[in-house]
């Protein structure tokens, strides 16, 4: 697999080429081209790297006569630019089709003679005479989807009763569908009326509400006619992102939209199965429509999941899912750039080439119509397109009309969304996790993770917060409890903090020696409080001042050349109220006798050899005798 260039268009073109040179009947050839839009210019067959910078990713398949399929994702791109991309793609497609024609001339096989399957054509005039006027009456008198289906089922029963003995039942129903399609086209093209009485550009009644599920992070109910979608938004930590194992370079996915189409949404009682191609495809389209308006991970460090449940279906559930998903995100407080709405445009083509585009198609119009052109976007432009057709191809005039009509419908729905929720909620749900992002030095990542992940697991177990760390040192902490998140942040900062003179810590005494006490000030970092720095008064033994496991507040007064930390409790005990740490440090350092040259840290308690407090005086006599003390070489860390 080419790891630099997407390959889907080659699969489409390759399949066409294989059919073209075979003996299988095929009304091709066709070809497919991917287009991008980078830095204000159209790009033919962009690479993966170019697509990362592109505001458009559209695949256009076409024949010699026009467009046969489209699939697109965009970033609020205008209709004009999208049309230019489609026209350019068709230019490239025609060149690829010419190449396939050459292949057919060189190696193509003669097409086989296959008799088409179908019903006896003498049924057409018989059913036309029988159903004339009845179908149009069923359209005009129906009060909804269920009522229309009931009337059509009654007409189907009449057909079976009248011709069931003479013709096969399957053929009768195929012939009935032909009459249904013809009656529908006549109603739209001649009378300008659709089955439910709407005009060509009229959208079904809209209603919506938000926040109907109080325990979720965000929820919305969007209804268009008899199509109703429940959208639920959930926020998770960065670590909740979905790991991908596909042929494309994408490794993780932080935004997921799952579309469910349960049987009850169409009045059926059967088991709930796993998602099929339709559910997966509709979810992917709605996800593609909403992705461009989401905040970046840097600005909003969350993983986002939307579930769109079809509660009732009569066409365009995928576009209704876009609307419900938008409202659910806004209700959840996700700072999207702009609301997104979706609309589906249908097409009716007459025998003489006359055509009409219709807005917001419902179930039967999708079934007997010639096109389902789904378009989703914001007020500023298009975010996603999906085109399915039943005619052989679309002319560019048809494409232009459909996009213009989709924009008009999209803006109408966006006005409705604004009336439901004028803007993104200012605060997240109290049940949503709070994410905080901090940066640690790359060289400190190991300290945060710990051996085998021990340290980072300990932080999670102790605080209940989730912790995710990236290779660049970005750490994301998530918790629905703000205090827990603060504790986790403090623990991580302590793990990576660089200690410097003047810092003040409250730590625990972890070891007592005769020359001082070791205090743990940070995870993995101990410092020595010399016996002379334990109290403002003279102490004979360390235990007179502190005990093991006692918490003490100390100041860092020195970090020596070997990186050892010297602490003082005395400096803080003698500090005046309100005295700044810098002043305390300066005073403490000024009070310490200078070290003799050459003595270094030899003999911390001793006499002549120099020692922690200096030369032979001080505590040298009582503790170590005059000749240099019993512990030469400085304090030990054992």
Phi-psi category of 222—alpha, beta or left, where left has phi over 0 and alpha has psi -120 to 50?
beta
pLDDT at 232: 98
Cα 122 from Cα 119, distance rounded (Å): 9
| Number of domains composing the chain | 6
pLDDT at 615: 38
pLDDT at 599: 42
Can you give the pTM of this predicted structure? 0.78
541 and 480 in a single domain? The answer is no
Structural domain for 95, as ranges: 8-107
Is 391 a domain residue? no
Cα 53 from Cα 58, distance rounded (Å): 14
pLDDT at 250: 66
The SS3 call for residue 542 is helix
* Three-state SS letters, 70-136: EEEEEEEECHHHHHHHHHHHHHHHHHHHHHHHHHHHHHCCCCCCCCCCCCCCCHHHHHHHHHCCHHH
238 and 175 in a single domain? The answer is no
Q: Which two tokens stand for residue 298?
A: 């840097």
Nearest to 365 by CA among 390, 341, 382, 342: 390
Give the list of residues 6+ apart from residue 290 with CB closer than 8 angstroms, or none. 255, 257, 306, 322, 325, 326, 329, 336, 340, 383
If you search the block for the tokens 């997966």, which residue do you land on? 280
Is 620 a domain residue? yes
Query: Considering just the CA atoms, what is the radius of gyration of the chain in Å?
Result: 38
Cα 476 from Cα 408, distance rounded (Å): 42
pLDDT at 249: 66
569 and 608 in a single domain? The answer is no
pLDDT at 324: 98
408 and 283 in a single domain? The answer is yes
277 and 358 in a single domain? The answer is yes
The SS3 call for residue 492 is helix
pLDDT along the chain (638 residues), means of 10: 84 96 94 97 95 96 96 97 97 97 95 85 92 87 87 93 90 93 89 86 96 95 97 90 75 92 89 89 97 92 95 94 98 96 95 91 91 97 96 96 97 97 92 87 88 89 88 87 86 85 90 93 86 89 91 91 89 83 80 52 39 39 38 37
CB atoms within 10 A of CB 452: 8
Is 117 a domain residue? no
CB atoms within 10 A of CB 214: 9
440 and 486 in a single domain? The answer is yes
408 and 532 in a single domain? The answer is no
Enumerate long-range contacts of 95-102, CB under 8 Å, 24 or more apart.
96/13, 96/31, 96/33, 97/29, 97/30, 97/31, 97/63, 97/64, 100/13, 100/16, 100/17, 100/20, 100/28, 100/29, 100/31, 101/29
232 and 361 in a single domain? The answer is yes
pLDDT at 231: 98
412 and 446 in a single domain? The answer is no
55 and 173 in a single domain? The answer is no
């Amino acid at each position: 697999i080419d790891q630099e260039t997407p390959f889907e268009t080659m699969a489409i073109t390759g399949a066409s080429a294989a059919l073209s040179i075979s003996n299988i009947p095929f009304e091709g050839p066709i070809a497919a081209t991917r287009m991008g839009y980078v830095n204000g210019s159209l790009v033919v067959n962009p690479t993966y790297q170019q697509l990362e910078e592109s505001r458009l990713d559209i695949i256009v398949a076409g024949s010699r006569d026009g467009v046969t399929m489209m699939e697109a994702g965009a970033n609020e791109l205008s209709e004009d630019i999208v049309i230019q991309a489609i026209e350019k793609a068709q230019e490239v497609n025609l060149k690829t089709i010419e190449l396939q024609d050459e292949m057919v001339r060189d190696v193509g096989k003669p097409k086989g003679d296959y008799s088409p399957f179908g019903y006896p054509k003498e049924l057409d005039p018989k059913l036309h005479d029988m159903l004339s006027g009845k179908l149009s009456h069923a359209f005009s008198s129906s009060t909804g989807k269920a009522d229309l289906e009931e009337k059509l089922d009654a007409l189907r029963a009449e057909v079976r009763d009248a011709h069931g003995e003479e013709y096969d039942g399957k053929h009768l129903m195929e012939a009935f569908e032909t009459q249904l399609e013809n009656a529908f086209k006549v109603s739209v093209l001649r009378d300008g009326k659709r089955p439910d009485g709407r005009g060509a550009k009229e959208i079904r009644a809209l209603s919506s509400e938000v926040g109907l599920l109080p325990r979720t992070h965000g929820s919305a109910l969007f209804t268009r006619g008899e199509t109703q979608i429940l959208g639920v938004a959930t926020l998770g930590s960065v670590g909740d992102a979905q790991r991908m194992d596909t042929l494309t370079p994408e490794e993780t996915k932080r935004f997921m939209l799952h579309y469910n189409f349960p049987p009850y949404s169409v009045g059926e009682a059967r088991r709930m199965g796993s998602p099929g191609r339709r559910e997966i495809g509709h979810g992917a389209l709605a996800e593609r429509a909403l992705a461009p308006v989401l905040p970046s991970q840097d600005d909003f460090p969350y993983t986002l999941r939307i579930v769109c449940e079809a509660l009732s279906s009569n066409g365009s559930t995928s576009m209704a899912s876009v609307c419900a998903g938008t409202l659910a995100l806004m209700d959840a407080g996700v700072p999207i750039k702009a609301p997104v709405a979706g609309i589906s445009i249908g097409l009716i083509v007459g025998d003489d080439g006359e055509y009409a585009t219709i807005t917001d198609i419902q179930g039967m119009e999708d079934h007997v119509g010639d096109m389902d052109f789904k378009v989703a976007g914001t007020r500023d432009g298009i975010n996603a397109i999906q085109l399915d057709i039943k005619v052989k191809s679309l002319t560019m005039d048809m494409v232009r009309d459909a996009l213009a009509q989709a924009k008009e419908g999209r803006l109408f729905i966006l006005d409705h969304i604004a009336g439901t929720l004028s803007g993104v909620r200012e605060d997240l749900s109290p049940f949503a996790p709070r994410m905080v992002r901090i940066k640690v030095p790359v060289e400190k990542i190991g300290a945060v993770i710990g051996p085998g992940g021990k340290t980072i697991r300990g932080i999670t177990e102790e605080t209940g917060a989730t912790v995710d760390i990236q290779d660049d040192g970005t750490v994301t902490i998530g918790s629905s409890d703000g205090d827990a998140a603060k504790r986790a942040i403090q623990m991580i900062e302590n793990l990576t903090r660089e200690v410097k003179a003047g810092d003040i810590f409250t730590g625990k005494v972890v070891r007592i020696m005769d020359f001082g006490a070791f205090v743990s000030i940070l995870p993995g970092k101990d410092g020595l409080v010399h016996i002379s720095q334990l109290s403002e008064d003279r102490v004979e033994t360390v235990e007179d001042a502190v005990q093991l496991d006692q918490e003490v507040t100390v100041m860092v007064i020195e970090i020596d050349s070997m990186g050892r930390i010297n602490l003082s409790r005395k400096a803080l005990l003698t500090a005046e109220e309100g005295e700044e740490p810098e002043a305390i440090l300066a005073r403490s350092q000024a009070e310490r006798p200078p070290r003799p040259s050459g003595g270094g840290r030899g003999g911390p308690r001793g006499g002549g050899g120099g020692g922690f407090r200096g030369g032979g005086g001080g505590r040298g006599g009582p503790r170590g005798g005059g000749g240099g003390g019993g512990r030469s070489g400085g304090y030990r860390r054992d």
